[in-house]
């Protein structure tokens, strides 16, 4: 039976499996028993393990830190690294984000595209090999990732404690093959003490790696009149009055890897506050850096911009803001190319914080990686994709961060197709109305089947 025939007779079951997992809310939360990333993620993990076991895999649970399903030789194996955790849903959905629906040929729900749908694609591709390709030269291990969106502690736990694969791919990008990823630096900074603050609250953003589409400020009710008048000509700002005056800013959500697709609500709100007289001098000085960082995705306005011949230029996203202990606390997501050393990034940020009186209280840095596009495994995956898809496309590099940067000899491979345009209502990863094409799901699963077969022929 060919991969296409196999997928065709199992279409309904593949869709059912995706819906089953998407309907489980698996956002990182407070840890629990055997649930270091929260009960929702644990529930999704156990549900996925049940599916894998039902389909003939041996399953292993590393006390909730990570899990996997395996078939075939265990000394040498190929790994499919997918993840079951998702980013928070946010607002503005047209349907329940945790009740997966079909609409105009798409599956809609949080995690359909990132990364529960692709997990199921990998599962069914591996199942095809179990049932149709024997014996296997290399075992197949399907990694059940649980912390990809919040730091990748899961994959680090695996690398530290368990056998590494001879080759891995993660279905968390686009076809044909992503052979390089930018570095990702997350920085948490606090402002100087705001003194006798006019602001009672300042909050915004869902996660560091999402351009914030909403932000809020609360001030004294006495300022309602002045702020309402100031907001009349600003379509991004709404001023509401209750026991306090609350100012709401709207933006456009986007992934931090492509921030120019979005519009920062934090920038709209900080610019609005700086345009009037409601805040005091200390608050104004502290907000200047926030306005610059949130309004200029290139980092040029604060002198940290960098270019590269292979990758796109450095980008900055101020993804989170809050007020704690009378200080602004912000979290930045910086994506930087291989032309910049990780140490240089940290040095630039330290100098920037010092210039504006801010303090860096936490920093995490994931260096970039790049694999020669002429390597045998890259050429094999590219060729397999082109033969199945019928078009020629070159390997590419990207700003997004996947498990591939953590594991040796690993790449991101699909499931998105080149030059696909979705309906206006349909969102991408991390956006409202996240949507996955049903027909593309079947085609990608077929490509994964063919690719796993081709990888069995290589020498690792």
pLDDT per residue as tens digits for the range 68-117: 999 999 999 999 999 999 999 989 999 999 999 999 999 999 999 999 99
Residue with tokens 């699909």: 414
**pLDDT, position 245:** 86
Architecture of 3-181+369-455 per CATH? 3-Layer(aba) Sandwich (3.40)
Mean pLDDT of the chain: 94
| Angstrom distance (rounded) from CA 364 to CA 68 | 26
Residues 6+ apart with CB under 8 A from 211: 251, 252, 253, 254, 255, 256, 259, 261, 262, 263, 264, 317, 319
Question: Helices (DSSP H) in 55-135: which residue ranges?
Answer: 116-132
Do the domains 3-181+369-455 and 184-366 sit in the same CATH topology, yes or no? Answer: no
For residue 252, the Cα-to-chain-centroid distance in whole angstroms is: 16
Percent of the chain with pLDDT over 70: 99
**pLDDT, position 345:** 87
| Angstrom distance (rounded) from CA 152 to CA 158 | 10
Q: What is the DSSP secondary structure assignment for residue 404, as one 8-state letter?
A: G
For residue 94, how many other CB atoms are within 10 A of its CB?
13
The yes-or-no verdict on residue 442 having pLDDT over 80 is yes
**Structural domain boundaries of the chain?**
3-181+369-455, 184-366
In terms of phi and psi (left: phi > 0; alpha: psi -120 to 50; beta: otherwise), the region of 270 is alpha
pLDDT grade, residue 450 (50/70/90)?
very high
Name the residue with higher pLDDT: 455 or 303: 455
| pLDDT tens-digit map of 282-327 | 999 999 999 999 999 999 988 889 999 999 999 999 999 999 999 9
- The CATH class of 184-366 is alpha beta
| Angstrom distance (rounded) from CA 7 to CA 82 | 20
| Angstrom distance (rounded) from CA 448 to CA 425 | 28
**pLDDT, position 224:** 66
**pLDDT, position 276:** 85
The yes-or-no verdict on residue 239 having pLDDT over 80 is yes
pTM of the model: 0.79
Q: Measuring CA to CA, how many Å separate 47 from each of 56, 127, 182?
A: 15, 17, 33
**pLDDT, position 244:** 81
The yes-or-no verdict on residue 241 having pLDDT over 80 is no
The yes-or-no verdict on residue 360 having pLDDT over 90 is yes
The yes-or-no verdict on residue 146 having pLDDT over 80 is yes
| pLDDT tens-digit map of 187-227 | 999 999 998 888 889 999 998 989 999 999 988 777 767 77
- 436 φ, ψ to 5°? -125, 125
């Amino acid at each position: 039976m060919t991969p296409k025939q196999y997928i065709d007779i199992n279409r309904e079951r593949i869709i059912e499996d995706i819906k089953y997992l998407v309907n489980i809310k698996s956002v990182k939360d407070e840890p629990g028993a055997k649930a270091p990333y929260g009960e929702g993620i644990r529930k999704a993990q156990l549900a996925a393990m049940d599916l894998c076991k039902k389909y003939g895999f041996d399953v292993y649970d590393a006390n909730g830190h990570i899990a996997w399903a395996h078939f075939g030789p265990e000394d040498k194996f190929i790994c499919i690294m997918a993840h079951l955790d998702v980013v928070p849903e946010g607002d503005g959905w047209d349907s329940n984000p945790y009740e997966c629906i079909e609409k105009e040929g798409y599956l809609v729900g949080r995690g359909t595209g990132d990364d529960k749908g692709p997990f199921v694609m990998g599962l069914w591709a591996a199942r095809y090999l179990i049932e149709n390709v024997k014996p296997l030269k290399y075992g197949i291990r399907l990694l059940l990732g649980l912390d990809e969106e919040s730091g990748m502690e899961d994959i680090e736990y695996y690398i530290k404690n368990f056998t590494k694969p001879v080759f891995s791919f993660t279905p968390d990008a686009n076809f044909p093959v992503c052979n390089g990823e930018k570095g990702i630096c997350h920085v948490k900074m606090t402002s100087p003490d705001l003194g006798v603050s006019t602001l009672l609250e300042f909050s915004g953003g869902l996660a560091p790696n999402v351009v914030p589409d909403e932000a809020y400020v609360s001030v004294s009710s006495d300022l309602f009149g002045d702020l309402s008048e100031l907001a009349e000509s600003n379509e991004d700002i709404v001023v509401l009055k209750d026991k306090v005056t609350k100012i709401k800013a709207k933006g456009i959500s986007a992934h931090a890897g492509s921030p120019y697709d979005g519009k920062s609500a934090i920038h709209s709100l900080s610019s609005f506050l700086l345009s009037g007289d409601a805040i005091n001098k200390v608050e104004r000085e502290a907000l200047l850096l926030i306005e610059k960082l949130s309004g200029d995705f290139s980092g040029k306005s604060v002198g940290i911009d960098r270019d590269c011949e292979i990758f796109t230029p450095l980008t900055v996203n101020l993804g989170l803001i809050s007020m704690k202990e009378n200080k602004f606390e912000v979290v930045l997501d910086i994506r930087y190319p291989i032309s910049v050393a990780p140490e240089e990034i940290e040095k630039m940020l330290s100098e920037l914080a010092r210039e504006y009186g801010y303090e860096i209280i936490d920093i995490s840095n994931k260096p970039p990686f790049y694999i020669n596009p002429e390597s045998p495994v890259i050429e094999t995956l590219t060729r397999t994709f082109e033969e199945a898809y019928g078009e020629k496309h070159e390997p590419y590099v990207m700003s997004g961060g996947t498990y591939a940067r953590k594991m040796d000899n690993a790449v991101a491979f699909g499931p998105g197709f080149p030059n696909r345009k979705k309906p206006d209502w349909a969102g991408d990863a991390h956006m409202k109305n996240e949507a996955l094409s049903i027909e593309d799901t079947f085609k990608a699963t077929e490509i994964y089947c063919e690719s796993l077969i081709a990888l069995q022929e290589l020498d690792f």
